[in-house]
Amino acid sequence: MAMDYSEKVMDHFTNPRNVGEIENASGQGTVGNAVCGDIMRVYLDITGDNIIRDAKFKTFGCGAAIATSSMATELVKGKTVQDALKVTNKAVMEALDGLPAVKVHCSLLAEEAIHAALWDYAEKHGIQIEGLEKPVSDISEHHETKVVG
Ligand code: FES
């Protein structure tokens, strides 16, 4: 790749963790970006006391989208649903030692896919996760404002 990717990004791109599906997932969410056409789906297996036991993903997208979904699923595993909200795109980028500026939106796909799966979980169980906003299915309209800060 011509772009300037960190070793961690390259590692998670060439050897992604948590690829696959979870049957009868506690929550699953799919988001896309209509501009680049990339799509990400996240599956979460959540215990009765709201701990994320397992996370898997399928991403039809660029290398950075694959690396960020790999890292994001790694980061949410073992966390409570509440703490999983702290796995923002910024946290994912930091864990990957950064992303080139044009690839920042790829990390948002990972954040939103996790949120979508958590939203699905909350809806199925009739609970509310404090601070979780209803996710959008197309992040391309929203990411400009969300990336700032
Ligand atoms: Fe769209 Fe990476 S180029 S997610």
CB 96 within 8 A of CB 87: no
pLDDT digits 0-9 by tens, 41-64: 999 999 999 999 999 999 999 999
Measured CA to CA, the distance from residue 19 to residue 133 in angstroms comes to 26
pLDDT (0 to 100) of residue 2 = 54
Partners of 118 in the β-ladder: none
Q: Angle formed by the axes of helices 63-76 and 104-125, to 10°?
A: 40
CA of 108 to the centre of ligand 1 (A): 9
Measured CA to CA, the distance from residue 64 to residue 145 in angstroms comes to 20
The residue whose two tokens read 């197309």 is 138
Class of CATH domain 7-125:
alpha beta
Residue numbers of the chain with a pLDDT score lower than 70: 1-3, 142-149
Per domain, the residue ranges of the chain are 7-125
For residue 130, the 8-state DSSP code is T
- Pocket test of ligand 1: the residue of 42, 59, 106 to mutate, having most ligand atoms within 8 Å of its CB, is 106
Nearest atom in ligand 1 to the alpha carbon of residue 33 is 1
Give yes or no for residue 18 CB within 6 A of ligand 1: no
* Residue 62, both tokens: 């660029």
pLDDT (0 to 100) of residue 35 = 92
